Structure formats: C-alpha cells, structure tokens
Amino acid sequence: MQPPASAGLFRSPENLPWPYNYMDYLVAGFLVLTAGILLRPWLWLRLRNSKTKDGDEEEDNEEKKKGMIPNGSLGWPVIGETLNFIACGYSSRPVTFMDKRKSLYGKVFKTNIIGTPIIISTDAEVNKVVLQNHGNTFVPAYPKSITELLGENSILSINGPHQKRLHTLIGAFLRSPHLKDRITRDIEASVVLTLASWAQLPLVHVQDEIKKMTFEILVKVLMSTSPGEDMNILKLEFEEFIKGLICIPIKFPGTRLYKSLKAKERLIKMVKKVVEERQVAMTTTSPANDVVDVLLRDGGDSEKQSQPSDFVSGKIVEMMIPGEETMPTAMTLAVKFLSDNPVALAKLVEENMEMKRRKLELGEEYKWTDYMSLSFTQNVINETLRMANIINGVWRKALKDVEIKGYLIPKGWCVLASFISVHMDEDIYDNPYQFDPWRWDRINGSANSSICFTPFGGGQRLCPGLELSKLEISIFLHHLVTRYSWTAEEDEIVSFPTVKMKRRLPIRVATVDDSASPISLEDH
C-alpha cells in the first residue's frame, strides 16, 4: 500500500517503508513532546479548576470548604492573556485589562500571564489581606531578572523576622524627626539649585532633569555622600545596574543581565569603601545620620557586634532601587497634572505664597513641619499618587492554599493586588480620571480611605520612605510654584513597563519671584 501523497511530515525521499520515514517519527515525536511540555501548565490549570464528573469527591468537598478559585479565562496555552495585558499597559488606560474582566467575572479573577497562573484582585479588602500577611502566606514574586540582580537576601525579597527587623529599623530612621530636620536643608539646597538651572535652559525635560536631584537626595539619606565626582560615578554605575531589572534572564558575558551584575559589583565596592571608613570613625553617642549609620549600629546593644560591611553595602545598593525611579516619576507627574489643571495650580500657588510671606515676616527658615502642614499641597500629592499609580500593584506568591472572602488562592499561584484598579474605581472615587485635589478634603478620615489608597503598599512591607517622599515632593512643589511659572508642551503618560511621560515632559520655565525668600541660592 502506498501512503497518500500528503502523508508524512517529511516525505520519504525514495522507497522507505510506509507509513513514514525515520525523520517523520523524530519530528512527530519532538512535536508531541514540545506540545506536551507547553500545554502542561495550561492543562494542569484546567484540571485544577474543573470539577470533573469522576473527580475525587473528597477533594471536591475540600474545595467547597475552602472556597472556589476565582472565575476567569486562562487564555491561550503558554502565552495565556499576556498579549492583552501588555497591550492595555501601553494604552492610555492600563486598567482596561482589569475592568473588562471585572465586569465579566467579578472583582477577583484568574488569568494566565507568561505561563504563570495568576489571580488578580481589584478588591480593596482582598488586597488588604494580601498585603497584611506576615511572610508565611504570601511572599514577593518578581521576574527572574530582578531576583538575579537583587540576590537571595535582598530587603525587597526576604521574609519573616529578618525582613520585619530590617523594615522596622529603616522605617524608624526614615520617619525620625532628626532625619527630617536635617534632610530638609539638603532637599531645599538641591531643589533651589535645580530649579535655578532650569530657568536658564530654553527647554527642560522634567523627567530627566529631576532624576539627578532625587538621586542626590537619596544617596544623602542612605550614605551622606555629597554631590561631586563620586556621586556622578555612583549614578552612572547605578543606571547601568538597573537597566537589567527587566531583561531576558540569561547570564553570560555580553548579556544585559551580566553587565548589570558587573555594575552592581562595582557599585557595592564603592559603597563598601564609604562603609569601611565609617566603621573606623563610628560613634554611637550621636543620633544616626544616614542608613549606613543605622545598619552599622544595628545589634550594637544586644549582640555587641556591628553588621559586616558587605551586608551593609548590599542593603544600601538595594535601597537605591525603590527610591530611584519612584520619586522623579511622582514629581514629574505632579508637574504634568498641575500644568493641565490651572485652577488647582492657582490654589497651590496661593497656599504656598501665603506660607512664604508668613515665614518672611517672622524671619524664620522653613521647618519640615511647615511643608507638611500645607493641606492643599498634601491633597495635590495624594491626588498625583492616586492617578499616577507609579507602583500599580504588588505581586505575591501563595506559599499555601489561602481563602480570602470566599476566593481560593491555591498554593504556588501568584496574586496581583492591583492598586490601580482600586484607585481608578468609580464606585470609590467619583470621576476617577479627573485630577481633583479637593476630593481629599471629602475623603480624609472616611472609613475605607486607608485601604482604598495604597500608593505606598501596606502591611508588613509598607514603604518605609513614605513620609520622606511626601516631604521631598512638598519642598519641590513649594519652591517651584513660589518662584517660577512654566508652560508645558503636549505630552502623554505611558504606563508600560513603568510609568513615564512619552516625551519626558518638556516645559519652559520662567522666574516670577526671585525676591527675598527664607531660602536663597546664597544659603547653599
């Protein structure tokens, strides 16, 4: 019998026996194997969630007892719903991905992104539970490139008592009035100089120009290094290092990940030099001046031992990551939203000019508490953070089966607690796409305000830089609006892979009031 003309994946060249030649078997075998491997997670997900007629009754009951895996679609094999997720991220409304599924399946739904089963929560109460756990139920889940670059013991990925201890230690320092008193002067100096330089330029790309300033402030807080040659090298190495945070996780000479790991080594070496010098001159009598001091002194009382310099240098480099990108983005977007909302800007100018006049009359310099007492300015900052969604949610992995509000999150699955969905939910915020700083006068103090507003996360991993960030933005806005005016060119926000201005927010700055001020360039 002859094979049909189309039979065989590779047609037998001559008279090899029917049905197929050895190449056909090889290729068919390969395809079956590949399909098997690729389909496995998808099939597993289907099976895990389906209630088959002949399914194990005991397991079925157990599932009922524990709640149900949320509804949703797992999309295509392997790629799941990744393409749609990314496409929405690139659009002007990244929350569309969530909104569409929320209307189909409810506030908590399942999906599959890059072959990973994920439960996405757009429910503020579920998010609260995910954030609040103590590291024994949910652990941070980052892409492989990030875990490689952070290392196993990074402050961003460790769990349990060690994380709690470090978090408390660093948080207490960053919130301390001693730091805020001291750092206010440094922030003012950087802001005043930066803004003065902007007024000299024909066009300022806020997103780029602001980065230098926020990095300098961050490094001052972490290790007291002042602007200069070392700072410039540190910044260059850091930029090289973070380029690898989102990349293909392949590590050999020439790859992005490899270059970033090398930059991290050089960065740690530079920081270590500062740490070792500090170790020699260390006293414990005066309050800690920076995070290096805090970490070196840790354990001084109870264990009578300082942390080794390797450990401290590693932590300092890791702490540059969460502060470096978020701060400039928050300030850039504040400028953007104010440019688009002249009424809010006028109110902001009024409040800040009023404080400036008062301080001048009293002949006092600003205290950090003055900046933080400006209620409309704080409203502007909250509204910016709500709409900006710089960290649009946090990813966690479940260490065991967990039930929240009747939803089962199975062991091994990822959960995305979506902050952006809550921040842009019209049932929570009326006209969520409208920049309305006045809304915070209505919201503040209401029952759900804290769980529905989480730009800094919450629970065990609540951002320890929260208060410092707000202080820094307040100082920046104060000096911007009391001394300068600006016109912004057309630009739009993009949200993927991180929040950015498409054209880096070009503005033209003009000096409106260089008269006497509690702060002047000469002070610095």
Residues placed in the known binding site:
463
The residue from 404, 420, 464, 475 that contacts ligand HEM (CB under 6 A) is: 464
The residue from 334, 345, 394, 402 that contacts ligand HEM (CB under 6 A) is: 394
Q: Does 319 bind ligand HEM (CB under 6 A)?
A: yes
The residue from 20, 135, 455, 493 that contacts ligand HEM (CB under 6 A) is: 455
Shortest distance, CB of residue 219 to ligand HEM, whole angstroms? 10
Task: Give the torsion through C-alpha atoms of 120, 87, 500, 216, to 10 deg.
Answer: 60
Shortest distance, CB of residue 412 to ligand HEM, whole angstroms? 19
The residue from 341, 457, 467, 501 that contacts ligand HEM (CB under 6 A) is: 457
Nearer to ligand HEM, 134 or 273 (CB): 134
Shortest distance, CB of residue 289 to ligand HEM, whole angstroms? 14
Nearest CA to 410 among 48, 130, 46?
48
**Six token digits for residue 410:** 């199975």
Q: Which stretch binds ligand HEM (CB under 6 A): 365-373, 462-470, 489-497, 512-520?
A: 462-470
Q: Rounded to an integer, what distance in angstroms lies between the CA atom of residue 320 and that of residue 329?
A: 15
Q: Which residue has the tokens 């330029």?
A: 201
Task: Give the torsion through C-alpha atoms of 425, 429, 432, 435, to 10 deg.
Answer: -150
Q: Per residue, what are the HEC states of 70-109?
A: CCECCCECCCECHHHHHHHHHCCCCCHHHHHHHHHHCCEE
Q: Does 417 bind ligand HEM (CB under 6 A)?
A: no
**Six token digits for residue 368:** 């950090």
Nearer to ligand HEM, 210 or 330 (CB): 330
Nearest CA to 519 among 368, 350, 359?
359
The answer to whether 439 and 429 are in contact (CB under 8 A) is: yes
Order of strands, sheet of 506-511, starting from the edge strand that comes earlier in the sequence: 204-205, 506-511, 484-488
The residue from 374, 402, 463, 480 that contacts ligand HEM (CB under 6 A) is: 463
Q: Does 163 bind ligand HEM (CB under 6 A)?
A: yes
Q: Does 415 bind ligand HEM (CB under 6 A)?
A: no
DSSP of 438-489 = THHHHHTT-TTTTTT--TT--GGG--TTHHHHHHHHHHHHHHHHHHEEEEEP
Q: Rounded to an integer, what distance in angstroms lies between the CA atom of residue 118 and that of residue 416?
A: 7
Q: Which stretch binds ligand HEM (CB under 6 A): 19-27, 69-77, 100-108, 321-329?
A: 321-329
In Å, the largest CA–CA distance within the chain is 106
Shortest distance, CB of residue 147 to ligand HEM, whole angstroms? 13
Nearer to ligand HEM, 356 or 396 (CB): 396
Q: Does 456 bind ligand HEM (CB under 6 A)?
A: yes
The answer to whether 394 and 454 are in contact (CB under 8 A) is: no
Nearer to ligand HEM, 84 or 378 (CB): 378
Q: Rounded to an integer, what distance in angstroms lies between the CA atom of residue 382 and that of residue 6?
A: 66
The residue from 292, 295, 296, 330 that contacts ligand HEM (CB under 6 A) is: 330
Burial 161-191 (b: 16+ CB within 10 A, else e): eebeebbebbbebbebeebbebbbebbbbbb
Shortest distance, CB of residue 330 to ligand HEM, whole angstroms? 4
Q: Which residues are annotated as a binding site for heme?
A: 463
Shortest distance, CB of residue 13 to ligand HEM, whole angstroms? 59
The residue from 126, 130, 179, 221 that contacts ligand HEM (CB under 6 A) is: 221
Nearer to ligand HEM, 49 or 389 (CB): 389
Order of strands, sheet of 393-398, starting from the edge strand that comes earlier in the sequence: 108-113, 116-121, 414-418, 393-398, 138-140
The residue from 465, 478, 499, 509 that contacts ligand HEM (CB under 6 A) is: 465
Q: Does 314 bind ligand HEM (CB under 6 A)?
A: no
Q: Does 167 bind ligand HEM (CB under 6 A)?
A: yes
Q: Does 345 bind ligand HEM (CB under 6 A)?
A: no
Q: Which stretch binds ligand HEM (CB under 6 A): 66-74, 272-280, 443-451, 453-461?
A: 453-461
**Six token digits for residue 287:** 């309050």
The answer to whether 379 and 343 are in contact (CB under 8 A) is: no
Nearer to ligand HEM, 108 or 221 (CB): 221
**Six token digits for residue 267:** 């960065």
Beta strands in 91-195 (DSSP E): 108-113, 116-121, 138-140
Nearer to ligand HEM, 69 or 330 (CB): 330
Shortest distance, CB of residue 320 to ligand HEM, whole angstroms? 8
The residue from 108, 119, 187, 327 that contacts ligand HEM (CB under 6 A) is: 327
Point out the residue whose Cβ comes nearest to ligand HEM: 465
Q: Does 391 bind ligand HEM (CB under 6 A)?
A: yes
Shortest distance, CB of residue 154 to ligand HEM, whole angstroms? 9
- For ligand HEM (CB under 6 A), the number of binding residues is 26
Q: Rounded to an integer, what distance in angstroms lies between the CA atom of residue 429 and that of residue 452?
A: 9
The residue from 155, 213, 257, 402 that contacts ligand HEM (CB under 6 A) is: 155
The residue from 27, 74, 78, 156 that contacts ligand HEM (CB under 6 A) is: 156
Do strands 108-113 and 393-398 pair parallel, antiparallel, or not at all (unpaired)? Answer: unpaired
Q: Does 469 bind ligand HEM (CB under 6 A)?
A: yes
**Six token digits for residue 51:** 């209630």
Q: Which residue has the tokens 């952070």?
A: 150
Residues that bind ligand HEM (CB under 6 A): 140, 155-156, 163, 167, 174, 218, 221, 319, 322-323, 326-327, 330, 390-391, 394, 455-457, 461, 463-465, 468-469
